[in-house]
Amino acid sequence: MSIGKDVILHKARLDEKKKRLATLNLRAENYIIILRDIIDPATEDSNDLDLCRAQITLEDFVSLNEEKLALKAEIARMERELNG
Protein backbone atom coordinates (compact mmCIF):
# COMPACT_ATOMS: atom_id res chain seq x y z
CA MET A 1 0.00 0.00 0.00
CA SER A 2 1.27 3.46 -0.80
CA ILE A 3 2.04 6.04 1.84
CA GLY A 4 -0.87 8.20 0.67
CA LYS A 5 -3.35 5.39 1.16
CA ASP A 6 -1.90 4.63 4.59
CA VAL A 7 -2.33 8.26 5.64
CA ILE A 8 -5.91 8.34 4.35
CA LEU A 9 -6.75 5.12 6.21
CA HIS A 10 -5.11 6.44 9.37
CA LYS A 11 -7.12 9.68 9.14
CA ALA A 12 -10.32 7.70 8.58
CA ARG A 13 -9.65 5.55 11.67
CA LEU A 14 -8.87 8.69 13.66
CA ASP A 15 -12.14 10.29 12.53
CA GLU A 16 -14.03 7.15 13.61
CA LYS A 17 -12.42 7.31 17.04
CA LYS A 18 -13.31 10.99 17.39
CA LYS A 19 -16.93 10.25 16.47
CA ARG A 20 -16.99 7.45 19.03
CA LEU A 21 -15.61 9.87 21.65
CA ALA A 22 -18.34 12.39 20.82
CA THR A 23 -20.94 9.66 21.30
CA LEU A 24 -19.39 8.68 24.64
CA ASN A 25 -19.37 12.32 25.74
CA LEU A 26 -23.08 12.57 24.98
CA ARG A 27 -23.77 9.39 26.92
CA ALA A 28 -21.73 10.75 29.84
CA GLU A 29 -23.85 13.90 29.89
CA ASN A 30 -26.96 11.72 29.99
CA TYR A 31 -25.56 9.71 32.91
CA ILE A 32 -24.99 12.93 34.84
CA ILE A 33 -28.60 13.95 34.26
CA ILE A 34 -29.86 10.52 35.30
CA LEU A 35 -27.72 10.49 38.44
CA ARG A 36 -28.95 13.96 39.40
CA ASP A 37 -32.50 12.73 38.94
CA ILE A 38 -31.93 9.61 41.06
CA ILE A 39 -30.08 11.44 43.83
CA ASP A 40 -32.28 14.47 44.10
CA PRO A 41 -30.74 16.90 46.59
CA ALA A 42 -34.21 18.24 47.39
CA THR A 43 -35.25 14.87 48.79
CA GLU A 44 -35.90 15.31 52.49
CA ASP A 45 -35.61 11.65 53.47
CA SER A 46 -32.59 9.75 52.18
CA ASN A 47 -34.57 6.53 52.52
CA ASP A 48 -36.65 7.70 49.57
CA LEU A 49 -33.60 7.59 47.27
CA ASP A 50 -33.16 4.60 44.96
CA LEU A 51 -29.55 3.98 45.95
CA CYS A 52 -29.33 0.59 44.23
CA ARG A 53 -30.26 2.21 40.94
CA ALA A 54 -27.83 5.04 41.65
CA GLN A 55 -25.02 2.60 42.35
CA ILE A 56 -25.60 0.62 39.16
CA THR A 57 -25.83 3.80 37.12
CA LEU A 58 -22.67 5.16 38.71
CA GLU A 59 -20.79 1.93 37.97
CA ASP A 60 -21.85 2.20 34.33
CA PHE A 61 -20.82 5.86 34.31
CA VAL A 62 -17.37 5.04 35.73
CA SER A 63 -16.92 2.32 33.11
CA LEU A 64 -17.91 4.76 30.38
CA ASN A 65 -15.40 7.32 31.68
CA GLU A 66 -12.64 4.71 31.69
CA GLU A 67 -13.47 3.93 28.06
CA LYS A 68 -13.38 7.66 27.28
CA LEU A 69 -9.94 8.06 28.88
CA ALA A 70 -8.55 5.11 26.92
CA LEU A 71 -10.05 6.44 23.71
CA LYS A 72 -8.64 9.94 24.33
CA ALA A 73 -5.17 8.43 24.83
CA GLU A 74 -5.54 6.42 21.63
CA ILE A 75 -6.65 9.51 19.70
CA ALA A 76 -3.67 11.49 21.03
CA ARG A 77 -1.31 8.66 20.02
CA MET A 78 -2.82 8.44 16.54
CA GLU A 79 -2.57 12.23 16.10
CA ARG A 80 1.11 12.14 17.11
CA GLU A 81 1.74 9.35 14.61
CA LEU A 82 -0.07 11.26 11.90
CA ASN A 83 1.75 14.52 12.56
CA GLY A 84 5.13 12.87 12.91
User: Is a pLDDT exceeding 60 seen at residue 1?
Assistant: no
pLDDT of residue 57: 97
User: Is a pLDDT exceeding 90 seen at residue 4?
Assistant: no
Q: Kindly report the pTM of this predicted structure.
A: 0.84
Average pLDDT over every residue of 19-44? 94
Average pLDDT over every residue of 45-49? 85
Between 48 and 54, the higher pLDDT residue: 54
- Please give the C-alpha separations between residue 58 and each of 1, 7, 24, 40, in angstroms, as whole numbers: 45, 39, 15, 14
Q: Which domain holds residue 7?
A: 3-83
Number of domains in the chain: 1
- Please give the C-alpha separations between residue 34 and each of 11, 18, 50, 60, in angstroms, as whole numbers: 35, 24, 12, 12
pLDDT of residue 44: 84
